[in-house]
Amino acid sequence: MESQQHSESFSVADRPGKVARLANEEFDLLIIGGGITGAGAARDAASRGMKVALIEAKDYAIGTSSRSSKLIHGGIRYLENMEFGLVFEALSERRLLFELAPHLVHPLRFVLPLYKGGRVGMFKMGLGMWLYDALSMFEAPELHERLTAKESTERLPLLQTKDLMGSYVYSDAYMDDDRLCIETHRAAAKLGTVAANYVTANDAEIKNGKIASVGATDTTTGKSFRIRSKHVISTTGPWTDLVASQLLGNWKKILRPSKGVHLTFDRKRLPLHQAVVMAADSQKRIVFGIPRHEMIIVGTTDTDFSGDPYDVGATEQDVKYLLNVASEYFPGAKLTANDIISTYAGVRPLVDDGAASESKTSREHVIINDPRGVTFVAGGKYTTYRRMAEHTVEEALKSFSVEDQVKFGHGDTKKALNPLATVELMEQSRRSAAEWAKEYDIDRIAMDVMIDRHGAEALKLITEGRHVANYTASSEDKVWAFEAVHAIKHTMCRGLIDFYVRRSPLFLARHDHGLGLLALISKVFAKELGWSDSKRQEESAAIQAYVKHELAWKLKFGISPSSV
């Protein structure tokens, strides 16, 4: 169990030692893929006492796990598909995640407006709301409420009033998806998991019909080596078919990848205080307007995708589609492409179930045990990642001896991910915010943001990052300097793109995408990682190029590259 394991740090400084261990030791389990499912499986397996290795080809959460709608939800629309079991499981996990990660998962009210001529009327939707509350065991942060048309527009002044019948309000949650993934990795490391990012899996050595080792390459050094393990788990999401072919050769594709695009807006430009559920079209698609900390997210699309998931991005068509939906629901906002701060796109690793459209494809996960010693998992919802990881490890254990099945029979993943960010410590930290802000000369609002993001660990960020505080006079900028030190020391963050995109909201939420902080942040990284001037310039150029590449669609709308 958790308390019986030795602790492993999750620092960039320790990464070379972890790579050496991957090359020289033998493991019970090798997990390929560092998204949320891989992180969850590593934590689950390590909590059972298994010796676990994990490799990620690029950065943790680089794929779907940092490009979701950033919601923890049961899935109202899955009720239409009669997927009651999926909704019940998701709502149960939502309740647990409030306890496991209160600094990353936050309750949020959702408003669902209904209009004349829509697919679902007030009565039928009311039944669905009662069912949603019942499936949550009536333990949602708040139960649903029904609003008249007038009450709806009082709640949402920007809402389209024409043909509005009324709305329903219900509870779900929003989250920091990338940081939830990385925090799960940290928790797995404390249990002894040996993990390294920027390590690719190349091939498999099969002896007596079973995988004996996996060929790997540390892309930061170019060094190749082999990782020996009793069993392999693939949690590679939209890369599942590719990795399976590399490892096993003969493989029948199982995925129907789907692209999801999101837009981000300034909260002042689209002032939503509660999330809004928008019915997009006759395909039964749903688009959300989600207030999340420092920004509003509008998304998502749901279209088939056939390219390399690393190359996925927003197109002019995607942007117009989402902008039209948002404008239809909030005509008074008069939104244009110029109001969009950022976009991000991801690929859902949906399993092909023969559905007529992408949006109807089930979000249930599928686990495949290959007799050659590999367990594949694909599909699923972020909300149920913990259960999906548990199921995957249990399936993998079926390939182990009876003695090992008994030895590793029970996991424990229902404890807080971060002992410094429990519900109790979050509340205590908020009560101490004014005192801490004064003691450490930090703006109160900035202090509140740090506590919301890290709980009591906010103090650790300040004390560990105190040596870079004099790099800037701005209290807000100090916080990002502290965040950069923390990312390097505790999240294996190796570069500026990793930090800007998956350790902080800078790229998505700030009008300058955080480039105004580039001199400061790059100075912190150079100090902590010993970068030369040329390395610092290379990293600075890389994040600038990333921003231009991700937002290339702006040129189609005549938006000046200088604003990108």
On the question of pLDDT at 6 being above 70, the answer is: no
Q: How far is CA 500 from the centre of its chain?
A: 14
Pairing of strands 365-370, 374-379: antiparallel
Q: Please state, in angstroms and as integers, the Cα–Cα distance from residue 209 to each residue in 30, 175, 212, 242, 405, following that order.
A: 17, 43, 9, 21, 21
| Dist. CA 495–CA 539, nearest whole Å | 7
| Dist. CA 9–CA 533, nearest whole Å | 28
Q: By C-alpha distance, which of 381, 407, 410, 378 is closest to 392?
A: 378
Structure tokens at 17: 């030692």
Q: Please state, in angstroms and as integers, the Cα–Cα distance from residue 344 to each residue in 49, 174, 301, 549, following that order.
A: 38, 17, 11, 11
CB 554 within 8 A of CB 563: yes
pLDDT tens sequence across 292-343: 888 999 998 989 998 899 999 999 999 999 999 999 999 999 999 999 999 9
The b/e string for 258-277 (b: 16+ C-beta within 10 A; e otherwise) is bbbbbbbbbeeebebeebbb
**pLDDT at position 7, please?**
54
Q: Read off the pLDDT of each residue in 114-127 and give the average, rounded to a whole number.
A: 88
pTM, whole model, 2 decimals? 0.94
Structure tokens at 252: 């029948």
pLDDT tens sequence across 17-38: 999 999 999 999 999 999 999 9
CB 158 within 8 A of CB 333: yes
| Dist. CA 204–CA 369, nearest whole Å | 16
Strand partners, 170: 110
What's the CA angle centered on 101, arms 503 and 193, to 5 degrees?
70
pLDDT tens sequence across 124-135: 899 999 998 998
CB 388 within 8 A of CB 93: no
Residue 222, sorted as left (phi over 0), alpha (psi -120 to 50) or beta, turns out to be left
pLDDT tens sequence across 533-551: 999 999 999 999 999 999 9
Q: Read off the pLDDT of each residue in 164-191 and give the average, rounded to a whole number.
A: 96
Q: What is the DSSP secondary-structure string of 446-466?
A: HHHHHHHHHTTHHHHHHHHTG
